[in-house]
Amino acid sequence: MKMFRGKFFIFFVTLFALVGCNSAASGDKENTIKVTTTIAQIGDIAENVGGEKVTVESLMGPGIDPHLYQASQGDIRKLNDAEIIFYNGLRLEGRMGDILNKMSESKPTIAVGEAVPTKLLLEDDDETDKMDPHIWFDISLWLFAVEEVKNSLIELDGENADFYEENASAYIKELKELDKYAKEQISAIPEESRVLVTAHDAFKYFGEAYGMEVTGLQGLSTDAEFGLNDVRSIIDLLVERDIKAVFVESSISEDSINAVVKGAESRGHSVEIGGELYSDAMGTKGTETGTYLGMFRHNIDTIVNALK
Ligand SMILES: [Zn+2]
265 vs 259: CA distance, rounded Å:
10
287 in the same domain as 149: no
Would you state the pLDDT for residue 137? 97
Tell me the CA–centroid distance for residue 249 and ligand 1, in Å.
10
Residue type, 141: L
Q: Which residue has the higher pLDDT, 299 or 4?
A: 299
53 vs 51: CA distance, rounded Å:
5
Tell me the CA–centroid distance for residue 78 and ligand 1, in Å.
23
Tell me the CA–centroid distance for residue 248 and ligand 1, in Å.
13
Mean pLDDT of the chain: 91
Ranking 99-108, 131-140, 144-153, 220-229 by mean pLDDT, the lowest is 220-229
130 in the same domain as 38: yes
Tell me the CA–centroid distance for residue 243 and ligand 1, in Å.
23
Tell me the CA–centroid distance for residue 125 and ligand 1, in Å.
14
Strand partners, 218: 200
Q: What's the gap between Cα 247 and its chain centre?
A: 17
Q: Is 150 helix (H, G, I), strand (E, B) or coil?
A: helix
Tell me the CA–centroid distance for residue 67 and ligand 1, in Å.
6
Closest residue by Cα to residue 273 from 252, 296, 302? 302
Answer whether residue 5 shows pLDDT above 70. no
φ/ψ bin of 89: left (φ > 0), alpha (ψ from -120 to 50), beta (otherwise):
left
103 vs 115: CA distance, rounded Å:
19
58 vs 75: CA distance, rounded Å:
9
CB neighbourhood size of 292 (10 A): 26
60 in the same domain as 127: yes
Q: What is the DSSP letter of 189?
A: S
206 vs 196: CA distance, rounded Å:
10
Tell me the CA–centroid distance for residue 95 and ligand 1, in Å.
13
Tell me the CA–centroid distance for residue 38 and ligand 1, in Å.
13
122 in the same domain as 57: yes
Taking only the tens place, the pLDDT of each residue in 244-267 is: 999 999 999 899 899 999 999 999
Tell me the CA–centroid distance for residue 63 and ligand 1, in Å.
12
Would you state the pLDDT for residue 21? 44
180 vs 175: CA distance, rounded Å:
9
23 vs 137: CA distance, rounded Å:
41
Tell me the CA–centroid distance for residue 134 and ligand 1, in Å.
6
Q: What is the DSSP letter of 226?
A: P
- Strands 109-111 and 84-87: what pairing? parallel
Q: Is 183 helix (H, G, I), strand (E, B) or coil?
A: helix
Tell me the CA–centroid distance for residue 2 and ligand 1, in Å.
68
Q: Is 222 helix (H, G, I), strand (E, B) or coil?
A: coil
In a domain, 23, yes or no: no
93 vs 69: CA distance, rounded Å:
7
In a domain, 2, yes or no: no
Tell me the CA–centroid distance for residue 147 and ligand 1, in Å.
23
Q: What's the gap between Cα 299 and its chain centre?
A: 12
Taking only the tens place, the pLDDT of each residue in 165-216 is: 999 999 999 999 999 999 999 999 999 999 999 999 999 999 999 999 999 9
270 in the same domain as 165: no
Q: Is 247 helix (H, G, I), strand (E, B) or coil?
A: strand
Owning domain of residue 140? 29-183
Tell me the CA–centroid distance for residue 208 and ligand 1, in Å.
16
Taking only the tens place, the pLDDT of each residue in 259-302 is: 999 999 999 999 999 999 999 999 999 999 999 999 999 999 99
CATH number at residue 157: 3.40.50.1980
Tell me the CA–centroid distance for residue 102 and ligand 1, in Å.
24
Tell me the CA–centroid distance for residue 130 and ligand 1, in Å.
14
Tell me the CA–centroid distance for residue 30 and ligand 1, in Å.
35
Which residue, 131, 164, 183, sits at the end of a domain? 183
211 in the same domain as 115: no
Tell me the CA–centroid distance for residue 247 and ligand 1, in Å.
14
Structural domains counted in the chain: 2
203 in the same domain as 169: no
Tell me the CA–centroid distance for residue 1 and ligand 1, in Å.
69
Q: For 34-160, where are the alpha helices, taking DSSP H only?
A: 40-50, 73-81, 97-104, 139-156
Tell me the CA–centroid distance for residue 290 and ligand 1, in Å.
18
144 in the same domain as 248: no
169 in the same domain as 68: yes
252 vs 213: CA distance, rounded Å:
21
- Is the distance from CB of 133 to CB of 111 less than 8 angstroms? no
Helices 228-241, 255-266: crossing angle, 10 deg rounding: 50
Name the pLDDT band for 156 (thresholds 50, 70, 90). very high
In a domain, 259, yes or no: yes
298 vs 228: CA distance, rounded Å:
31
